[in-house]
Structures are given as structure tokens and as C-alpha cells.
Amino acid sequence: EVQLVESGGGLVQPGRSLKLSCAASGFTFSNYGMHWIRQAPTKGLEWVASISPSGGSTYYRDSVKGRFTISRDNAKSTLYLQMDSLRSEDTATYYCATDFGYPLAYWGQGTLVTVSS
């Protein structure tokens, strides 16, 4: 059974940093692209960042470029999102998702990030 479990969310002040993790199991993690998707309160879903299976290629939406860093540890089957210089508009539930099978076939339950003073 595919499982994705996010952690690391919480309340953080504007300008500070937070690192999210996503522990994967039930598939060969190192073979598939991984993604972070977010959903602000009462808003729609928004793609944030993606990483290739090897970790050699990364992609970001414009609003997080230079502030967020996606990475992965294939030995630990874990995906990360380092979020720096956080803004109030980054407040959202962050989901990790995998391309195992099909694009964004499986998602985690999400972790809530609240950026507020």
C-alpha cells in the first residue's frame, strides 16, 4: 500500500524558515518524480515544486523561487521542502504527491503551515 506521510508544519513568523518532510513507503521511491502541492484556506490547489527521481532536476512556481528548496533522500525514501523567508501568503496545507503509476496518483494527508506574527 502506498503511503505518504508529511510532517514539519506549524506556526511560524513571517521571514522565518520551516522544513517539511514526506516519508514514503509502498513503492520504489527512487524511481518516481515527487511533488509538493499546497492549498490555502478556502482556496484551490496550487503546484509548488517538483523533483526528478534522481534529484538532479528541480522545478518551482515563480512565487517560491529563491525561497523554497525541494530535495529528496532516496536512501531514506523521504522528500523535503525547505521553506525560507516565509510570507503570510504561504499559509496553506502542504501535500506531497508521487507520480507512481500516474501523475499525482497518490497524495499524503497534508501538513498545515501557518505564517503569522
Partner 1 sequence: DIQMTQSPSFLSASVGDRVTINCKASQNINRYLNWYQQKLGEAPKLLIYNANSLQTGIPSRFSGSGSGTDFTLTISSLQPEDVATYFCLQHNSWPMYTFGAGTKLELK
| 57 DSSP 8-state letter | -
Contact 39, 113 (CB under 8 A): no
Q: Which of 108, 111, 113, 115 binds partner 1 (CB under 8 A)?
A: 108
**Rounded CA separation 89/80 (Å):** 20
Q: Which of 18, 50, 80, 91 binds partner 1 (CB under 8 A)?
A: 50
Residue 23, H or E segment: strand 18-25
Say whether residue 17 binds partner 1 (CB under 8 A): no
Say whether residue 42 binds partner 1 (CB under 8 A): no
- Please, what is the minimum distance in Å from the beta carbon of residue 57 to partner 1? 9
Contact 47, 68 (CB under 8 A): no
Say whether residue 95 binds partner 1 (CB under 8 A): yes
**Rounded CA separation 10/110 (Å):** 12
Say whether residue 47 binds partner 1 (CB under 8 A): yes
Which residues are near partner 1 by CB under 8 A?
4, 33, 35, 37, 44-47, 50, 59, 61, 95, 102-110
